[in-house]
Structure 1
Amino acid sequence: MNKTLLFGSNGFLGSHLKEKLDGEVIGINIREQNWQDNLPDDANVFINCIGKAHDHKGIATERDFYFANYNVVKVLFEEFLKSNAQLFIHISSIAAVEENERTEVLTEDSVGNPQSHYGKSKKAAEEYLLKQSLPSGKKLFILRPTMIHGEGDKGNLTLLYKIISKGIPYPLGAFKNSRTFVTVDNVAFLMNEIIKRYKEIEGGIYHITDDEPLSTKKIIEIIGEAKDKKLIILSPPKFVINSLAKMGDMISLPINSKRVKKMTSNLIVSNQKIKQALHLDSLPISAENGMKKTIESFMKHKN
C-alpha cells in the first residue's frame, strides 16, 4: 500500500486529495517546528500542493509568491532526495505557460509566457526541479493543471456564481470564448493513476485538464439549469465593459480587468500527453458534468 506525504493538505486541492487518493495519506504541516524530523521513513510518495495563487486583497508581494511557489519547493525536494521515497509530484500551474489568452492549443512544448509573480514563480520552480539530478529509482512529475474547480472553490467561478445567483444579469454576452477547466475529481483520478503506474511512464511535465472546453455562456446556462431559473445575458459593447473594468482596477468593484480577461478570453489546453502515457481514451468525468457538480456544491453551501 502506498504511503503518501501530502504537503499543503489544508488547501483547496490538498483537502480533496487527502480524501480521494488511494492508500495512506499523511498531511504534513511545514509550519510546525522541526517538521523534517517527523517525516515517516517508509513513505514512498511526496506530493507538493503548497502554493500561493490568489491575492484578493492586492497586498501580496513578489517575495510572498516566490517564497510559497519556489523556495518551499526547493526545501521539499531536498527532503525527498534524502528520503526513501521514490516519487515526487509537484503541482505547478498552466500559468507557468500562459495566464491570459492564446490562439493555439497549449501543449507541454508550448513556449512559456508567464506575466504575473504567480506565473513566474511557478515557472521558476519548474526550471529548478528539471535541473536537478535524480538518483536511480526516483522519479519526478510536474503537473500543470488548468483552473481547478470543485466543492470549496473560492476563485473566479465562485464570484460568477454569486453574481448570477443574485439575479444580476450577466453583462459579458458580447464576448465569445472557450476555455479548458479541470474538475478536482479528474485531478485526483489522474494522480491516483500516476502513483499506481509511475514506474511504467516517463517523468516530466504533464498538463492536467478536462477533455472538453467550456464557454462562460455555457457555465451560466449550467448555473441556470441547476437553480431552475432563466438567467439574463446582456451584450453591451465590449468597449463599455473594458472601461468599467479599468474603473474596477482603481476602485473596489466586482469587475476589473483581470477578472474580465479570465472570463472572456480563450485558453485551450491539451491533455493528450497524460492520456497517452496512461493509455486513457477519456477522463471519467466530462467537463460539463464536472461543472454541474461544482455548481451544485455551491448551492448546497449557499455561496
Structure 2
Amino acid sequence: MLRKALLTGCTGFVGHPLLARLSNCDFSVVACSRVAMPALPASATNVLVSGIDGLTDWQVALAGVEVVIHSAARVHVMNDQSSDPLAEFRKVNVEGTLNLARQAAEAGVRRFIFISSIKVNGEGTPLGSPYRADAQPQPADPYGVSKMEAEQGLRALAAETGMEVVIIRPTLVYGPGVKANFLSMMRWLHKGVPLPFGAIHNQRSLVALDNLVDLIVTCIDHPAAANQTFLVSDGEDLSTTELLRRMATALGKPARLLPVPSWLLEAGASILGKKALSQRLCGSLQVDISKTRELLGWTPPLSVDAALRKTAAHFLEHRTH
C-alpha cells in the first residue's frame, strides 16, 4: 500500500518536480493547489485550496497522511504596494503554516517538512565566512522575518505535540524553468551581449533544483532529520564571473564579460537605486552544508556543471526570444 504525503505549492518551481519525484517513490500524493491541475501522476490526487492562511480547513486533505511537505509561501513581491508588507507575509507564511501544522499534528501526521529560506540567516556573508544552520538568524526583510517566525512556531509545536519537524533553508534555486534574474542572465548570454561582470571576486552558494528535491525526499524518512534545520547548496560556491562563464559554456556561447571593477558597479547601482541587485551580483552569500552532509550522509547528486547544462537545455528548447 502506498504511503500518503500532502504537498503544498505543487504547481510551483520546486513543488512541481517534487510531485513527480514523490510519485516515483511509492507515495500517494495529495497535491494541494489553488487551481485544478490537468496532468497529474496516477498516484496523485488534486485537492483545491482557495488560499493558505490561519483559517484554511485542511481536514479532508490530511486524512491518512503520513508526511506533509509545505513548499507554498508568499514570496518576494516586486513593488509591494501594501501598507504593511510584514503583516501580509505573516498571513500566509506564519499563520497559514502554523495552522496547517497544528491540523497535521491533530491528524496524526508523523513528520512536517517546511521549505524555508536562507533569508532567515540574512542577506549576505563576509567572503569565507558562510552561514551555518544553527547560527543566530538575522533576517533583513519582511519575507525573511516571516519565515523565521514560522520556523520558531513549528519548533514550539513539535515540542508540544511530538510531531517531527524538518526545516530546510535553500539558497538561490536554479534549474529547468527558472525565472527572474537567472533567466535574464541566460537571455543576455545567449544573445552575446557584452556584460560588465568580468572582474567580480565574490562567492555565492546556489542549489540546483534536482539537488533540493533530492534532499527533501531524503528528509522524509531519515531518522536523523527529525527536528533539525538544514542548509542546502550544490557544495561548490561560484563567483558571479565564474557562474556567467560556466553558464555560457552550457549554452554553447562565448562569455563576453568586461572586467569592470565591482566597486564601480556597486556605485553605479546605488546611484540608480539598484543596491539590492548589486548586492546579489557583487556580494557574497555562502552556506556551510557540512551538517547536512554529516547528519544525513547526503551528497548533492548533481554537479554544478551538469545542473547548468540541464538548465540551459530547457532554456534553449523553450525560449521565445
Alignment TM-score, normalising by the size of structure 2: 0.84
Question: In the superposition, relative to structure 1, how do residues 36 and 156 fare at CA in structure 2: closer, same or farther (>3 Å)?
Answer: same
CA contact (8 A) 1:91 1:143 kept: yes
Give matches, 1:20-99, under 5 Å: 20-21=21-22, 22=25, 23-29=27-33, 30-31=49-50, 35-59=57-81, 61-99=85-123
How many percent identity over aligned positions?
Answer: 25
Give matches, 1:284-295, under 5 Å: 284-295=301-312
Residue in structure 1 matched with residue 38 of structure 2 by the alignment: none
Cα deviation for residue 239 of structure 1 reads 4.4
Distance 1:269 1:49 in 2: 21
The amino acid across from 1:84 in the alignment is G
Distance 1:145 1:266 in 2: 15
Residue in structure 2 matched with residue 263 of structure 1 by the alignment: 281
Question: In the superposition, relative to structure 1, how do residues 159 and 57 fare at CA in structure 2: closer, same or farther (>3 Å)?
Answer: farther
Residue in structure 2 matched with residue 17 of structure 1 by the alignment: 18
Residue in structure 1 matched with residue 161 of structure 2 by the alignment: 135
Residue in structure 2 matched with residue 186 of structure 1 by the alignment: 211
The answer for unaligned runs of 5 or more in structure 2 is: 34-48
Cα deviation for residue 131 of structure 1 reads 1.9
CA RMSD of aligned residues (A): 2.1
Does residue 2 of structure 1 match 2:3? yes
Instruction: State the aligned residue count.
Output: 294
SS in 2 for 1:182: strand
The amino acid across from 1:28 in the alignment is C
Distance 1:238 1:190 in 2: 34
Higher RCO, 1 vs 2 (CA within 8 Å, ≥6 residues apart) = 1
Alignment TM-score, normalising by the size of structure 1: 0.89
CA contact (8 A) 2:113 2:166 kept: yes
Match of 1:206 among 217, 220, 230: 230
CA contact (8 A) 2:164 2:227 kept: yes
CA contact (8 A) 1:219 1:291 kept: no
Residue in structure 1 matched with residue 180 of structure 2 by the alignment: 155
Question: In the superposition, relative to structure 1, how do residues 163 and 41 fare at CA in structure 2: closer, same or farther (>3 Å)?
Answer: same
Residues 46-71 of structure 1 show CA distances to partners (whole Å, capped at 9, x for unaligned) of 11111122323443522222222212
The amino acid across from 2:161 in the alignment is P
SS in 2 for 1:172: coil
Residues 182-209 of structure 1 show CA distances to partners (whole Å, capped at 9, x for unaligned) of 1111111112222132x35442211121
SS in 2 for 1:12: coil
Cα deviation for residue 233 of structure 1 reads 0.8
The answer for unaligned runs of 5 or more in structure 1 is: 250-255
